[in-house]
């Protein structure tokens, strides 16, 4: 009986739940970045918990490079989000709209900021990977 | 004389014929489309189920047209909300092939794309009322929570107005775009934050809060701060911008929310949001006319 009413409530409420974070296919790229930001954020928290326990511990070689990808993505996209959420790079409200107006906050300067964040991510991740895969093993 | 004037407005026969042909072309059935429609009555059914209907659609037929034909001819029990049929009332927003759109503004063939199935569901993240109709109670509550009206402190002027309030074009442009909201709920439904946070005020309410806060005629900033500057207020938004992506009216709520955050941060550093509008006294108006 209990289970049945819960089941009914689930459908009546029609909330997407966590799957809603990752429903990005039909939307713009910002939605993918949102989903990736969530995942990387959660993974970083998990790593930090281990890191607190033993600061010297590292997952090692390829895992280190993966950790780099996670951290640098969160950093680069985080910079973009800080800019946007402080009200920069989202454009100005319009006085005159076209009949099928696309949102200025997405199609305006934000396009360049997204590209900038992605390039920054690739550069930082490459440096980190170089350090983790080449420099670190050499130093032993 | 009158008839001669009227004659000038009659289309030449060849143009008339062309127009008639174009209109016939627009309403000629061109393709068979399968509609998968979500059926669920929370008061009666154990679980939702899908119903399928096939329909010959024309190029001009909107999803709402198709739904009304289905309701009239195949399934009288189909529940949906609609009113104006021209994208002004915001009643018929639903999930059309997985994206929030107005049924009255979306043509069937446009929604189907190269496929031949159109899947219709009620809006995500809204409780289901019946079939395609969503329950907007909490959505309107959130809208009401931000006090979407002009709040003034000068009671004397309000009760005995001496004239209209001054506002420049720039000041008008700050909020004009957000006044176009038709409360269709598409933005709240598309928001990934709203998918897990039932209490999140949502893009619509926050954009409206911004619309009234930046209006120079409004003094209600301090009244609205406790509503928007909270955990479930504007700081829950992380700029996925899906709300702006789906808005059928080009309101761009994501932009409004980010500007609202900027305004709140500025205020924390002691900046005033704007100079309040002064009343344009009747005397000045009369002088100007002269
Ligand atoms: S902001 Fe746009 S999508 Fe949201 S309720 Fe208003 S019109 Fe609909
Ligand atoms: S910009 Fe904010 S309100 Fe709009 S969809 Fe994203 S998280 Fe939701």
A23 CA distance to ligand 2 middle (Å): 13
Q: Which of ligand 1's atoms lies nearest the C-alpha of B250?
A: 2
Interface test with B, best of A15, A28, A92, A113 (most B CBs within 10 A): A15
Closest CA to A125 of A60, A72, A79: A72
Looking at the predicted structure, is the pLDDT value of residue B287 above 60?
no
Shortest distance between the Cα of B223 and any Cα of chain A, in A, equals: 22
What mean pLDDT, rounded, does chain B reach?
89
Using one digit for the tens of pLDDT, what is the confidence trace for B253-267? 999 999 999 999 988
Using one digit for the tens of pLDDT, what is the confidence trace for B214-229? 998 888 888 999 999 9
Looking at the predicted structure, is the pLDDT value of residue B132 above 80?
yes
Q: Long-range contacts: A70-73, Cβ < 8 Å, 24+?
A: A70/A40, A70/A43, A70/A44, A71/A40, A71/A44, A71/A128, A72/A121, A72/A124, A72/A125, A72/A128, A73/A36, A73/A37, A73/A40, A73/A121, A73/A125
Q: What confidence score (pLDDT) does residue B52 get?
A: 95
Q: β-pairing, B128-130 with B133-134?
A: antiparallel
B178 closest CB neighbour out of A11, A90, A93: A93
Contact at CB, B177 and A13, closer than 8 angstroms:
no
> Locate tokens 């001819």: which residue?
B73
Q: β-pairing, B117-121 with B29-39?
A: parallel
Using one digit for the tens of pLDDT, what is the confidence trace for B44-91? 888 899 999 999 999 999 999 999 999 999 999 999 999 999 999 999
Rg (CA), chain A: 20
Q: What confidence score (pLDDT) does residue A15 get?
A: 87
Q: What confidence score (pLDDT) does residue B2 get?
A: 53
Shortest distance between the Cα of A134 and any Cα of chain B, in A, equals: 36
Using one digit for the tens of pLDDT, what is the confidence trace for B182-210? 999 999 999 999 999 989 999 999 999 99
Instruction: Report chain A residues whose CB lies below 8 A from the CB of B122.
Output: 14
- DSSP-assigned beta bridge partners for residue B100: B95
Q: Does A13 touch chain B (CB under 8 A)?
A: yes
Rg (CA), chain B: 24
Query: If pLDDT is split at 50, 70 and 90, which confidence band does B167 have?
Result: confident
| Cβ(B184)–Cβ(B203) below 8 Å | no
Q: Which of B233, B254, B260 to mutate to test the pocket of ligand 2 (most atoms within 8 A of CB)?
A: B254
Shortest distance between the Cα of B193 and any Cα of chain A, in A, equals: 7
Query: If pLDDT is split at 50, 70 and 90, which confidence band does B6 have?
Result: low
Q: What confidence score (pLDDT) does residue A140 get?
A: 63
Closest CA to A118 of A67, A73, A70: A73
Q: What confidence score (pLDDT) does residue B286 get?
A: 56
Looking at the predicted structure, is the pLDDT value of residue B32 above 60?
yes
First-to-final CA distance of chain B: 41
Q: What confidence score (pLDDT) does residue B278 get?
A: 73
Residue in chain A nearest B105 by alpha carbon = A100
Render each residue's pLDDT in chain A as its tens digit; 140 residues.
Answer: 567 777 778 888 888 888 889 888 889 999 999 999 999 999 999 988 888 887 766 767 788 888 899 999 999 999 999 999 998 888 889 998 888 889 988 888 999 999 999 999 999 999 999 988 888 778 76
Proportion of chain B above pLDDT 90, given as a percent: 72
Instruction: Report chain A residues whose CB lies below 8 A from the CB of B255.
Output: 90-91, 93, 103-105
Interface test with A, best of B93, B239, B253 (most A CBs within 10 A): B239
Stretch (H or E) spanning B264: helix B253-268
Looking at the predicted structure, is the pLDDT value of residue B171 above 80?
yes
Which amino acid residue places its CA nearest to atom 6 of ligand 1? B181
Q: What confidence score (pLDDT) does residue B243 get?
A: 94
In the DSSP assignment, the letter for residue A22 is G
Looking at the predicted structure, is the pLDDT value of residue B288 above 80?
no
């Amino acid at each position: 009986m209990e289970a049945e009413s819960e089941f009914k409530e689930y459908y009546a409420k029609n909330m997407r739940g966590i799957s809603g974070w990752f429903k990005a296919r039909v939307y713009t790229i910002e939605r993918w970045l949102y989903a990736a930001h969530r995942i990387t954020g959660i993974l970083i928290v998990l790593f930090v918990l281990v890191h607190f326990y033993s600061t010297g511990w590292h997952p090692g070689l390829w895992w280190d490079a993966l950790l780099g990808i996670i951290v640098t993505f969160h950093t680069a996209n985080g910079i973009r989000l800080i800019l946007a959420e402080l009200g920069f790079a989202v454009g100005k409200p319009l006085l005159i709209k076209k009949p099928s107006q696309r949102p200025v906050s997405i199609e305006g300067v934000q396009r360049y900021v997204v590209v900038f964040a992605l390039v920054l991510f690739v550069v930082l991740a490459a440096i980190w990977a170089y350090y983790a895969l080449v420099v670190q093993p050499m130093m032993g | 004389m009158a008839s001669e004037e009227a004659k000038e407005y009659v289309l030449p026969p060849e143009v008339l014929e062309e127009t008639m042909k174009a209109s016939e072309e627009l309403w000629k059935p061109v393709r068979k489309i399968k509609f998968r429609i979500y059926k669920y009555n929370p008061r009666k059914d154990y679980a939702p189920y899908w119903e399928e209907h096939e329909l010959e659609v024309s190029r001009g037929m909107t999803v709402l047209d198709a739904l009304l034909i289905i309701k009239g001819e195949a399934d009288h029990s189909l529940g949906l909300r609609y009113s104006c049929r021209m994208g002004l009332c915001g009643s018929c927003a639903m999930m059309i092939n997985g994206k929030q759109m107005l049924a009255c503004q979306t043509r069937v063939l446009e929604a189907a794309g190269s496929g031949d199935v159109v899947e219709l569901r009620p809006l995500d993240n809204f409780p289901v009322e019946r079939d395609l109709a969503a329950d907007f109670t909490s959505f309107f509550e959130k809208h009401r929570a931000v006090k979407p009206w002009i709040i003034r402190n000068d009671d004397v002027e309000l009760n005995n107005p001496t004239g209209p309030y001054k506002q420049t074009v720039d000041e008008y442009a700050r909020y004009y775009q957000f006044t176009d909201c038709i409360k269709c709920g598409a933005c709240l439904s598309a928001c990934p934050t709203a998918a897990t946070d039932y209490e999140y005020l949502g893009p619509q309410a926050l954009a409206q809060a911004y619309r009234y806060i930046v209006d120079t005629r409004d003094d209600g900033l301090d009244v609205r701060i406790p509503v928007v500057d909270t955990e479930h207020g504007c700081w829950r938004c992380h700029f996925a911008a899906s709300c702006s992506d789906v808005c059928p009216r080009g309101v761009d709520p994501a932009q409004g929310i980010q500007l609202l955050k900027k305004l709140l941060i500025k205020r924390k550093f002691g900046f005033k949001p704007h100079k309040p509008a002064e009343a344009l006294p009747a005397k000045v108006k009369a002088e100007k006319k002269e």
